[in-house]
Structure 1
Amino acid sequence: MTDLMNLRSVSAAYGKGQVLWDVAFDLKAGDAITVLGRNGVGKTTLIRTIMGQLAASEGHIYWHGDEITEMRPHQRSRIGIGFVPQGRHIFPHLTVRENLEVGLSALARKGFKGPKAVPEMVFDLFPKLTQIAGRKAGVLSGGEQQQLAIGRALAGQPQLLLLDEPTEGIQPNIVQQIEDALRRVRTELNVAILIVEQNLDFAWSFADRYLVMQRGRIVKEGRTAQDSADTVAHLVHV
């Protein structure tokens, strides 16, 4: 199977402060990878670099074999990379449906011939969004806002979905609903998913592969089916 994305010796910095060193891994369609580590080790920086919100200072990022290292975030969105940031970043004064329609901007990609409307699949994955479609997003619960943020990213029909701390501050029953929905996104739509996560139980349950970061580097990686979560817990928990 052809790789969807390749990172090769990627480093990144905020000003003169380097925060990522020599990161390399591959993603295929339908993969589920979790990035683990304590706060401040570079997990969010990694996902922002993949999305193009932070420029790589060294190394290369490839998408279907083509280099996208210099590509801007909106261009990466249009080639099929979706992003759900930490904190969700929904538009509080827009309705749920209007927020979802914002995600349609990603469909401006070259050659897209489908209807530019919120796919019914989004409402099928998150039925609650149908019930609250006319409600202002700012009055929603944290769990509802997270479902909305994921739905908005999926409205752009990505091939790769990046999520930064999707379970943070979410009730366990909603976390399970989100996990079930993301599992369907993988299996039914063959979308690759890369999750930055602190919730080790969720990460181990959902992902096939894991990457553990320390001080801006990947220090351990493997498959969740082969390794116990206990083997990485000391690298994740404070």
Structure 2
Amino acid sequence: MSTPLLEITGLGAGYGQSRVLWDIDLALAPGEVLALIGRNGVGKTTLLSAIAGSRPLSAGTLRLGGEDITTLSPHRRARAGIGLVPQGRHVFPQLSVMENLQAGLSALGPRARQAKVPQHIFDLFPKLWDIRDRAAGFLSGGEQQQLAIGRALAGEPRLLLLDEPTEGIQPNVVQQIEQALTHVRRELGMTILVVEQYLDFVWRFATRYAAMQNGRIVRTGSIAGESAADVAHLVHI
């Protein structure tokens, strides 16, 4: 494996006195797509939150591009190159599609004042251009998911975190999302960590997987070497 873009060592995190994550060691190489899989409640979302900075660590370290980001705030991690697409999308409902996308530019720091929403976002999701003046609260679930991904991409992340991107999404939009993620990995060299229950979807474009149980990484492997059905059986998904 090449020098990791993201390196997690001995990570622990939780909520108040309740520990959720234990001794997480994980590394992602530049341009890699890692599928984080496991049953609901095993800590996958908490791990993404810990990487993005919205969940404080109780133990361990995080390094991005060789730099220690363990103590950085969420907005400083965004500026360092971490983009998050949270479960449930969390778009700004009163703002238009274009305004939501422009909000994603804030991750660029001082450059945001002069920046424009990149054209490749509309190339990936043409519908967003068609509805750019519509309030995000009136969009369908699939449209909101495309918007949430586009908003994260507007900040030019080096690492893209996605939490259940296909949840509640119609099949034709799932296909568009798959094509978009494949494009940003191949053409932009983006590193992606994706939490996903729909294994057949993520198996089509991820390179490796890490399976979680009870707040720990219990198994890792190559997508090319194991089928989704076999892994699901082994880790009881």
TM-score by length of 2: 0.96
The amino acid that maps onto 1:7 is I
**1:103/1:152 contact within 8 Å kept:** yes
Q: Distance between the aligned counterparts of 1:106 and 1:7, measured in 2?
A: 22
Q: Distance between the aligned counterparts of 1:147 and 1:76, measured in 2?
A: 22
* Structure-2 residue corresponding to 1:69: 70
After TM superposition, give the deviation of residue 113 of structure 1 in Å.
9.2
**1:7/1:61 contact within 8 Å kept:** yes
Q: Distance between the aligned counterparts of 2:67 and 2:195, measured in 1?
A: 25
1:185-204 mapped onto 2 (5 Å cutoff): 185-204=184-203
**1:37/1:198 contact within 8 Å kept:** yes
Q: Distance between the aligned counterparts of 1:219 and 1:102, measured in 2?
A: 37
- The alpha-carbon distance between structure 1 residues 124 and 21, as it changes in their structure 2 partners (threshold 3 A), is same
The amino acid that maps onto 1:126 is F
Deviation per residue, 1:39-62 (Å, 9 max, x gap): 000000000000011111111101
* Structure-1 residue corresponding to 2:103: 102
Q: Distance between the aligned counterparts of 1:106 and 1:82, measured in 2?
A: 8
The amino acid that maps onto 2:170 is Q
1:31 aligns to 2:23 (yes or no): no
Q: Distance between the aligned counterparts of 1:220 and 1:164, measured in 2?
A: 19
After TM superposition, give the deviation of residue 231 of structure 1 in Å.
2.0
**1:4/1:64 contact within 8 Å kept:** yes
Q: Distance between the aligned counterparts of 1:216 and 1:52, measured in 2?
A: 18
Two-structure CA RMSD over aligned residues (Å):
1.4
Q: Distance between the aligned counterparts of 1:136 and 1:107, measured in 2?
A: 24
Per the alignment, in what secondary structure is the counterpart of residue 3 of structure 1? Answer: coil
1:169 aligns to 2:143 (yes or no): no
Identity %: 57
* Structure-2 residue corresponding to 1:48: 49
1:152 aligns to 2:155 (yes or no): no
- The alpha-carbon distance between structure 1 residues 137 and 236, as it changes in their structure 2 partners (threshold 3 A), is farther
**1:36/1:236 contact within 8 Å kept:** no
* Structure-2 residue corresponding to 1:181: 180
Q: Distance between the aligned counterparts of 1:28 and 1:199, measured in 2?
A: 23
1:141 aligns to 2:140 (yes or no): yes
The amino acid that maps onto 2:212 is M
The amino acid that maps onto 2:195 is V
1:71-86 mapped onto 2 (5 Å cutoff): 71-86=72-87
The amino acid that maps onto 1:176 is Q
Deviating runs (4+, > 3 A) in structure 1?
Answer: 112-115
Q: Distance between the aligned counterparts of 1:5 and 1:107, measured in 2?
A: 19
Q: Distance between the aligned counterparts of 2:41 and 2:163, measured in 1?
A: 13
Mark the runs of 5 or more structure 1 residues left unpaired by the alignment: none
The amino acid that maps onto 2:49 is R
**1:41/1:216 contact within 8 Å kept:** yes
* Structure-2 residue corresponding to 1:21: 22
**1:96/1:134 contact within 8 Å kept:** yes
- The alpha-carbon distance between structure 1 residues 114 and 105, as it changes in their structure 2 partners (threshold 3 A), is closer
Q: Distance between the aligned counterparts of 1:82 and 1:216, measured in 2?
A: 23
The amino acid that maps onto 2:36 is V
Per the alignment, in what secondary structure is the counterpart of residue 204 of structure 2? Answer: helix
Q: Distance between the aligned counterparts of 2:215 and 2:137, measured in 1?
A: 34
Q: Distance between the aligned counterparts of 1:114 and 1:188, measured in 2?
A: 26
TM-score by length of 1: 0.96
After TM superposition, give the deviation of residue 230 of structure 1 in Å.
2.0
